[in-house]
Structures are given as C-alpha cells and as structure tokens.
Amino acid sequence: TFDSVYEMFNPLTDVRDQHFWEWFSGKQIDSRWTLQNNTALPTVAMQDSVDGGLLMTNTGAGSGGSLVFNGIKQYGKPCSCVMVIKNTTANGITYAGFDRTGAPDSSGSSNSTAVIEMGASTYMNLVVTDNGSYWDRTATSIATANTDWWGVKIDVKASSVELTMNGTLEATRASVSPSTTMQPCIQGRNAGANCTTYIRYFEAYNT
C-alpha cells in the first residue's frame, strides 16, 4: 500500500516540479488568482458562450490592472507557460506570461518578465526583462491588429527566451533571460482605447 498517490509513481526523495493549469470555466474565476491594481482594477467576467473563457477589460485613459498569483512566485528558469488568448483592441495592450511584480509594462529595478505583448505596436512582441537591467521587445511576424485566438507558448531557458505562436517559433531573445522567480500574470492596459483581453486556458510549469 501507499500513503499517497504521489508515492505510487515517484520516490519521496524526488521533489515534484511546480505545475498548474487553468481552464477559465464556470461562473467565476478561481480564488488562486488575485486582481492587482496597477493604476485601476480591471473588470473580469466569465463569458456565457462556448469556449468563451474569461474577459478582462481595462477602461479609462492609461489604466491598467493584472490577474496574478498574489506575489507567489513559483516559477524560475527553466520554465514554460502555455495559453490560449486574444486581444480584440489594437490600441489596448495585453501582456501575458511570467512576471515578478505583476506589472510587466514596468521595467523597474526589481522586475523580471517573459511575456507576449499584444497591441502595443505594428506586430505582437516578446518582452523580456531582468531586474531592470534591460527592457527588450522582439517583434514577431503577427500583426497586432489580428484578433484571432492564439495558442501561445513561452519558454524561459537558461540563457534565452522563446515565443511560439500556433506551433511556429516567432521570436527569440538570445543571450539573456530572467534570473529571478516569477508568477503567472495577465495584464491589460488602456493605451488610447479600452483593452479587452480574452483568455480560455493558461498552464505553467517548471521544466
């Protein structure tokens, strides 16, 4: 007999890696997520439609807010996250992936970031920071005006970060990667227009 399901397949000397997934289904968002006020709290609501997921809306000039793990930073390199996401307003900016402080639009001295940026410029971007030592934006080939659903994967490696979209490697930041632990983060920011972010799946794991 075994004292736990874990012991059925793993020796207790093995420390299990962090791994979570979120389907954004049901009537309300899971309590593990925290709404963080960067400049104004976003509005979040589950969509009453097939595969609608969660809608996060940021309104008001310059406003921004995030869904985060309340400062619980389980994920350090190497780590990866996978999401199904879209931004339906080209002038509103969505950031999603890993972030230390929950404010990936900031390159402050304590922040580390590995996120997709949707809506900021002509093309969607991979944004990477590390303790404020640099702010790097690497463009993909995907126009920011594209409002389709995207399967996004971000791989934070020992010395690089890769962004894959719908199975195609779209951007690589070579030679650098965040050096501190981070938390899952989904941020919207009004940048001349309300930001509407839809997300129906998020998974993160240490690799």
pLDDT at 1: 63
Q: What distance in Å separates the CA atoms of residue 140 and residue 163, rounded to the nearest whole number?
A: 9
Q: How far apart are CA 181 and CA 173, in angstroms?
A: 18
pLDDT tens-place string over residues 37-61: 888 888 899 998 888 899 999 887 7
Q: What was the pLDDT predicted at 174?
A: 94
The per-residue pLDDT for range 159-170, each reduced to its tens digit, is 999 999 999 999
- Mean pLDDT, residues 80-84 taken together: 98
Angle ∠(121,197,189) on CA atoms, nearest 5: 55
* Cβ count within 10 A of residue 207: 12
Q: Report the pLDDT value the prediction gives residue 107, as an integer from 0 to 100.
A: 74
CB-CB contact of 35 with 12 (8 Å): no
pLDDT in tens, 172-192: 999 999 999 999 999 998 877
Choose between 90 and 6: higher pLDDT: 90
Q: Does the pLDDT of residue 13 top 90, yes or no?
A: no
Close Cβ partners of 13 (under 8 Å, ≥ 6 residues apart): none
Identify which of 29, 5, 7 has the alpha carbon closest to the alpha carbon of residue 184.
29
